[in-house]
């Protein structure tokens, strides 16, 4: 999900609007990778905002994975700093069902790790992982999330050595 809605259930501040609020208040370039289940308003905002770059999960599944990771590395290499936020909703619910908004056609954990690794050559100043709801499954999603975070930190450590 893009989290670029103007409002969600009448609220200006929510899990579905925070990225739009950030873009309104801060000067940064946004790269959203693996998006799906996008609202018309989010897509219109993203298309009208020159600082928003969107790659859908379908784009990823239909393209050459190496070209996407190279492209991501290129985008990140020109940035002065990078903050990586991993929304577990990006992963297909077959691998991570206990998330805030599960939607079909998510990406695999392997694809996500390749994309994260592509970001780590840049100047990463921070990293987070969101949208895990551990009470909604037997621990599969939390295990995947912990593994993704561990690998991400390892990628980051290797990139600074």
Task: Answer yes or no: is 43 within a domain.
Answer: yes
Task: Answer yes or no: is 13 within a domain.
Answer: no
Phi, psi of 101 (to 5 degrees): -140, 75
Task: Answer yes or no: is 4 within a domain.
Answer: no
Task: Answer yes or no: is 56 within a domain.
Answer: yes
Domain containing 126 — which CATH number?
A: 3.40.800.10
CA–CA distances in Å: residue 107 to residues 22, 24, 56, 71, 130:
25, 29, 10, 17, 16
Q: What is the pLDDT of residues 37-87, one digit of tens each?
A: 999 999 999 999 999 999 999 989 888 888 888 888 888 888 888 999 999
Task: Answer yes or no: is 138 within a domain.
Answer: yes
State the total domains in the chain. Answer: 1
Residue 161 has pLDDT above 80, yes or no: no
Q: What is the pLDDT of residues 18-42, one digit of tens each?
A: 999 999 999 999 999 999 999 999 9
Task: Answer yes or no: is 36 within a domain.
Answer: yes
Coil, helix or strand at residue 22: helix
Residue identified by tokens 């909703």 is: 89
Q: What is the pLDDT of residues 88-137, one digit of tens each?
A: 999 999 999 999 999 999 999 999 999 999 988 768 989 999 999 999 99
Angle between helices 140-160 and 109-119 (to 10 degrees): 30
- The domain containing residue 27 runs over which residues? 18-160
């Amino acid at each position: 999900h893009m989290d670029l809605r103007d409002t969600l259930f009448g609220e200006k501040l929510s899990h579905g609007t925070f990225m739009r609020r950030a873009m309104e208040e801060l000067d940064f370039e946004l790269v959203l990778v693996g998006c799906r289940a996008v609202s018309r308003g989010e897509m219109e905002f993203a298309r009208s905002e020159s600082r928003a770059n969107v790659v859908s999960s379908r784009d990823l599944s239909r393209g050459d994975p190496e070209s996407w990771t190279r492209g991501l590395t290129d985008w990140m290499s020109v940035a002065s700093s990078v903050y990586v936020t991993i929304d577990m909703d990006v992963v297909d619910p077959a691998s991570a069902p206990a998330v805030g908004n599960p939607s079909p056609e998510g990406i695999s954990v392997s694809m996500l790790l390749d994309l994260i690794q592509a970001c780590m050559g840049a100047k990463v100043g921070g990293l987070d992982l969101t949208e895990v709801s551990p009470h909604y499954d037997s621990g599969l999603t939390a295990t995947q999330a912990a593994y993704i975070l561990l690998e991400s930190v390892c990628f980051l450590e290797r990139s600074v050595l």
